[in-house]
Structure 1
Amino acid sequence: MGKMIHALSTGLPKEMKKDGMKRSIVTGIKKDRVEEVFLTKDGFKGDDVADKRNHGGPDRAVCFYPLEHYKKWEEELGRVLPNAAFGENLTVTNMLEENVYIGNIYKVGTALVQITQGRIPCSTIDQYTEADTLLKRTIETGFTGYLARVLEEGTITSQSTIELVEEHPEKMSILTCNQVYFANEDWKAMEEIASIEPLAEDWKRRLAKRMDRLKQQS
């Protein structure tokens, strides 16, 4: 089955106040479908994040989320989720976390992107979807989506094809990375992940800190 774009979405940070929230927050999670957009090294034109410490930047320029998970979450929640509920730019089919490897290079439209890390979800997902379980469940399952850097800028449309140009030889899947990252106890597995050159610098730093701590404890 071919890899397809189900939705191409962008959005700028804006104030969000939902029922049950004590105060409003500024977030870029709400994104609207677009038909065509230019992708730069820093991300899509007309798209941005509010929390630049934990989101965005060249290693996290593009956010993917598999469409297949929506059915599971909607069944669990008993309702339909909004477009790009996880703040993703590309809602895609046939690109599950278990089949996408760190360092994989994909041609999307005329752009070239490289997978860098699993998405580390935050509480904004629960606030945006008005669910109190989605953050916990994405971490438990490892169905977090994933992020990419831009190797070549280009134009992407909602009809663009996604082509695997180069599969990274280490074959370290996003799902495996998530399972190790969130379990937070196997420093040897962390070492293996951290050694993969295309891994996002932020993940390399986070894993290095954890490995040091675990080695000291052992």
Structure 2
Amino acid sequence: MEYGKIKSLHAGKPKHEIFSNIDIFSAMDKQAQDNLTVTKAGIIGDGVGNVKFHGGPDRALCFYPFEHYSLWNEKFSKKLDIPAFGENLTIAGMREETTYIGDIYQIGDVIVQINQGRIPCSTISFFNQEPKFLELVLKTSFTGYFARVLQEGTINKQNEIVLIDRLQEKISVHYAAEVILHKRDGLEGAKALLTLESLAEDWKQRILKRVQAAKN
């Protein structure tokens, strides 16, 4: 049985803030929490700044691997404050390369399913005062990932993250992100993602458009 570890939990409502001298309406500046109350719509007391491109049931929880922080700290010669990515769960032992689309985890009495990688926006650059942050994150595909909620409940920061079902072991979150962000393996990569019933609807539509365009 595989386990992940919670390093910290975060939540926060969107608000107007000044990041890098720019006024942005964002929920990036999340606060540490001991517990999260999780519904299928998302976390109670949490939110997003731009509901058109963020949030929703397919993005109810945002995860970011703790292991990547050392890379970014070295890259920018400073220690980034967690959550630098505005993630809800900073986790260890669950990197994108070893976490698969469709994975089902139990955290406390909450059950979630990983359904897509994250496509961050320029807010992460402004928030962390590093102009090249977004560019470098997209280049590596170390973007973190989202989950939908299958069973509502409470997550405690002491809970382990227990893998209870792995539906496939071919398409990791990292591979899926590489296909979406960098067109890895071309049409074959795109078609591979379409075989995943658990893939988030937004990513299905992105890939369908790519496949349809290739036919025309």
TM interval, shorter chain, is over 0.9
State whether structure 2 residue 3 is matched by structure 1 residue 9: no
Change (3 A) 1:188 1:215: farther
Q: Normalized against structure 1, the TM-score is what?
A: 0.94
Output the CA distance in 2 between the equivalents of 1:127 and 1:168. Answer: 37
Q: CA deviation at 1:171?
A: 3.2
Deviations 1:150-204 (A, max 9, x none): 0000100111110000012253101101111112361221111022000000000
Q: What is the aligned length?
A: 214
Q: Normalized against structure 2, the TM-score is what?
A: 0.95
Deviations 1:86-142 (A, max 9, x none): 110000000000000000000011100000100011101001001111111111111
Q: Answer whether contact 2:10 2:88 (CA < 8 A) is retained.
A: yes
- Identity score, percent: 42
1:5 partner letter: I
Structure 1's unaligned 5+ residue stretches are none
Q: Secondary structure at the match of 1:193?
A: helix
The aligned residue for residue 55 of structure 2 is 56
The aligned residue for residue 154 of structure 2 is 155
Q: Answer whether contact 1:39 1:154 (CA < 8 A) is retained.
A: yes
Q: Answer whether contact 1:187 1:211 (CA < 8 A) is retained.
A: yes
- Stretches of 4+ moved more than 3 A in 1? none
Output the CA distance in 2 between the equivalents of 1:64 and 1:143. Answer: 11
Output the CA distance in 2 between the equivalents of 1:193 and 1:27. Answer: 31
Output the CA distance in 2 between the equivalents of 1:133 and 1:108. Answer: 34
Output the CA distance in 2 between the equivalents of 1:19 and 1:135. Answer: 14
Structure 2's unaligned 5+ residue stretches are none
Q: Secondary structure at the match of 1:47?
A: coil
1:209 partner letter: K
Q: Secondary structure at the match of 1:17?
A: strand
RMSD: 1.3
Q: Answer whether contact 1:10 1:32 (CA < 8 A) is retained.
A: yes
The aligned residue for residue 191 of structure 1 is 191
